[in-house]
């Protein structure tokens, strides 16, 4: 756990700094300066670009995390792995970009209600796709080198600051809305170029192609694994993008309100994402070394830690939604309240079930993950098609939550059935019961009319009751050990 603790701590710290910036961005800046339809446009542009980048990547982000341990050799430039990693996806992007451009009339027809807003910025979407593709490939490479902190800083801190700055310039009248969209694109380009420069600074920018790369693992094997991973990645990407894409066809305003709801719920996923950035290459190493005991211990510990932190954050956000929305000063955005609660439920399930998805996709049985993900993709689209016309943005959130719960229950069962591992024990039940009791008390106590005082009262009661419960028990050994270290327990 040494590598995970060091990198995970750095990533968590960076992520929470970024969370603060993101909170200011999504609640105090963008919603005040942009109408819901304008915010919805940026969401749809990023969603379309993300799907284009995903197809172009051909699953090579997963391929890197799975196979890079076989290429790792700094003296030989890792056998020319980086040119291979960049070359095939960038070549495929040319084809994908051409298809997207030729399909422009069909896309604008799908978004007929807001085509006048989307049409002038369609080219920005293609440039966004290129930037996202390049960044994702380089990030996978840096993760495999166990240098994940800088990429966390770029996405969680720097990019958000760039977007906040661009929005402030727009609000002050120095940028038109078209200029803001271009600046938004510039934030993606900046982090991709900076990550490329970072690799050069640490001496890992090995861009010279070599024949040695063909001798380590057959390229056909890498492409086959990437193809399976691509189909698997589609479901994960659909969870993040399909809601905005399908809501956008109904109304960019709905997509904008949903974007705020999604951003609020993102706070819950921050610690999970920080851990997974390091967990992926570490689990790949465990498979390579056949260190099953270490993997099972890691599986159980991360599940327990994610549960303890996840329920606290979910309750903290849910109990204080009126306060959060009061900061926006636009009543139309409160329509996303129920959506936030549903999204929190889905993200909490995703975190509690631990690293099951990473275990499956890095295991010798990775092909089975494809079955889950193809089914999930169909489920997401089907539920959205059914629920969005009926419930609007609440239906999109319900679809997202049901999809996350379904895929994680299936993967957890599969890991247990295939390898005999399951991460749960009675301590998980105790943690959930403690959190539920603390949350119920915090919700039931009378609250003042002032939103700030309500925040302090509910947050204080929840933290005191839940924190005291964890300190007095050994349900989370890591918390007990920390308490003893700082003198809170003997």
Q: Residue 458 has what pLDDT?
A: 93
pLDDT tens readout for residues 258-289: 988 988 888 788 778 777 767 877 888 888 88
pLDDT-based confidence at residue 367 (cuts at 50, 70, 90): confident
Residues 6+ apart with CB under 8 A from 84: 209, 213, 219, 222
Q: Which of 424, 449, 470 is the last residue of a domain?
A: 424
Q: Phi and psi (nearest 5°) for 328?
A: -80, -35
Q: Is residue 347 domain-shared with residue 404, that is, in the same domain?
A: yes
DSSP string, 303-367: HHHHHHHHHHHHHHHHHTHHHHHHTT--GGGGGGHHHHHHHHHHHHHHHHTTTHHHHHHHSTTTH
Q: Which of 331, 351, 354, 337 is nearest to 264 (CA)?
A: 337
If 0-12 CB within 10 Å is exposed, 13-18 middle and 19+ buried, where does residue 92 land?
A: middle
Question: Which comes out higher in pLDDT, residue 405 or 75?
Answer: 405
pLDDT at 118: 92
Q: What's the pTM?
A: 0.78
Q: What is the mean pLDDT of the chain?
A: 85
Residue with the bigger pLDDT between 243 and 342: it is 342
User: Rounded distance, CA 408 to CA 416, Å?
Assistant: 12
Q: Residue 375: its pLDDT value, please?
A: 79
CA distance 477 to 481: 6
Q: Which two tokens stand for residue 119?
A: 């049409």
Same domain? 344 vs 439: no
Residues 415 and 431 placed together within one structural domain of the fold: no
Rounded CA separation 472/490 (Å): 11
Whole-number Å distance between alpha carbons of 187 and 157: 11
466 and 388 both lie in a single domain: no
Looking at per-residue pLDDT, the higher value among 1 and 409 belongs to: 409
What pLDDT, on the 0 to 100 scale, is given for residue 258? 92
More confident residue, 65 or 340: 340
Q: State the Cα–Cα distance between residues 123 and 114, nearest whole angstrom.
A: 16
**How much is the pLDDT for 216?**
64
Burial class (CB in 10 A: 0-12, 13-18, 19+), 333: buried
Q: Are residues 377 and 429 in the same domain?
A: no
150-180 per-position pLDDT tens digit: 888 898 889 989 998 998 899 888 999 999 9
pLDDT single digits (tens) 218-260: 677 777 777 777 776 777 677 778 888 898 888 899 999 998 8
- pLDDT bracket for residue 408 (50, 70, 90): confident
Residue 357 structural domain:
2-424
Residues 453-475: tens digit of each pLDDT: 999 999 999 999 998 998 888 88
Q: Which residue would you say has higher pLDDT here, 334 or 232?
A: 334
Out of 311-320, 326-335, 363-372, pick the least confident.
363-372
Question: pLDDT at position 483, please?
Answer: 61
206 and 180 belong to one structural domain: yes
Are both 329 and 446 inside the same structural domain?
no
Quote the tokens at residue 450. Answer: 């002032």
- Whether residue 365 is predicted with pLDDT greater than 70 in this model: the reply is yes
39 and 162 part of one domain: yes
Asked whether residue 108 falls in the same domain as residue 66, the answer is yes
Number of domains in the chain: 2
> pLDDT tens for residues 105-128?
999 999 988 888 899 999 999 999
Last residue of a domain, which of 424, 452, 470? 424
Q: Which long-range contacts (CB under 8 A, 24 or more apart) does 184-190 make?
A: 184/42, 184/124, 185/124, 185/127, 185/128, 185/131, 186/162, 187/159, 187/162, 187/163, 188/128, 188/131, 188/132, 188/135, 188/159, 189/127, 189/131, 190/158, 190/159, 190/162
Residue 11 — pLDDT band, cuts 50, 70, 90? Answer: low
**Same domain for 432 and 409:** no
Q: What is the pLDDT of residue 109?
A: 92
Angle, in degrees to the nearest 10, between helices 292-319 and 426-444: 10
pLDDT band at 1 (very low <50, low <70, confident <90, very high): very low
As given in the structure block, the two tokens for residue 283 are 């689990």
Q: Are residues 332 and 236 in the same domain?
A: yes
Print the SS3 string covering 78-112: HHHHHHHHHHHHHHHHHHHHHHHHHCHHHHHHHCH
Query: What is the per-residue pLDDT across 50-68, written as a single tens digit (0 to 9) for each?
Result: 999 988 988 888 788 777 7
Cα gap 361→212, rounded to integer Å: 26
Task: State which of 424, 443, 475 marks the end of a domain.
Answer: 424
* Distance in Å from the first CA to the final CA of the chain: 24
CA dihedral 114, 117, 119, 120 (to 10 degrees): 180
349 and 245 together in one domain: yes
CB 143 within 8 A of CB 135: no
């Amino acid at each position: 756990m040494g590598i995970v603790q060091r990198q995970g701590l750095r990533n968590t710290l960076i992520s929470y700094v970024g969370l603060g910036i993101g909170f200011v961005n999504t609640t105090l800046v963008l919603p005040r300066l942009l109408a819901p339809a304008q915010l919805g446009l940026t969401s749809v542009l990023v969603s379309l670009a993300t799907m284009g980048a995903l197809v172009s990547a051909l699953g090579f982000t997963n391929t890197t995390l799975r196979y890079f341990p076989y290429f790792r050799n700094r003296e030989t430039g890792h056998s020319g792995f980086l040119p291979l990693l960049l070359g095939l996806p960038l070549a495929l992007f040319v084809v994908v970009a051409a298809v997207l451009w030729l399909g422009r009339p069909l896309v604008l027809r799908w978004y007929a209600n807001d085509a006048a807003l989307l049409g002038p910025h369609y080219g920005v979407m293609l440039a966004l796709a290129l930037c996202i593709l390049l960044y994702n490939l380089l990030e996978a490479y840096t993760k495999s080198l166990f240098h994940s902190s800088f990429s966390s800083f770029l996405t969680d801190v720097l990019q958000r600051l760039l977007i906040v700055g661009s929005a402030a310039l727009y609000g002050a009248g120095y940028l038109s809305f078209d200029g803001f969209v271009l600046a938004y694109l510039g934030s993606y380009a900046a982090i991709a170029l900076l990550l490329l420069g970072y690799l050069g600074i640490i001496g890992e920018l090995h861009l010279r192609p070599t024949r040695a790369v063909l001798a380590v693992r057959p390229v056909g094997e890498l492409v086959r694994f990437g193809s399976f991973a691509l189909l698997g990645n589609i479901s994960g990407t659909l969870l993040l993008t399909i809601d905005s894409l399908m809501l956008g066809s109904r109304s960019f305003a709905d997509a904008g309100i949903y974007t705020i709801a999604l951003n609020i719920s993102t706070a819950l996923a921050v610690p999970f994402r920080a851990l997974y950035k390091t967990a992926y290459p570490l689990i790949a190493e465990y498979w390579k070394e056949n260190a099953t005991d270490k993997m099972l211990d890691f599986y159980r510990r991360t599940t327990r830690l994610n549960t303890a932190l996840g329920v606290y954050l979910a309750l903290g956000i849910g109990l204080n939604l009126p306060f959060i929305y009061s900061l926006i000063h636009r009543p139309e955005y409160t329509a996303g309240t129920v959506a936030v609660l549903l999204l929190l439920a889905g993200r909490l399930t995703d975190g509690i079930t631990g690293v099951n998805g990473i275990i499956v996709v890095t295991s010798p049985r990775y092909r089975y993950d494809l079955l889950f993900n193809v089914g999930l993709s169909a489920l997401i689209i089907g539920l959205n098609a059914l629920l969005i016309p009926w419930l609007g943005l609440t239906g999109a959130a319900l679809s997202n939550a049901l999809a996350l719960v379904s895929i994680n229950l299936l993967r957890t069962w599969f890991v247990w059935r295939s390898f005999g591992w399951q991460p749960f024990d009675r301590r998980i039940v105790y943690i959930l019961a403690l959190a539920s009791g603390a949350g119920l008390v915090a919700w039931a106590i009378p609250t003042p009319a002032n939103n700030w005082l309500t925040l302090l009262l509910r947050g204080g009661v929840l933290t005191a009751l839940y924190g005291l419960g964890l300190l007095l028990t050994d349900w989370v050994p890591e918390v007990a050990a920390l308490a003893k270290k700082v003198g809170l327990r003997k």
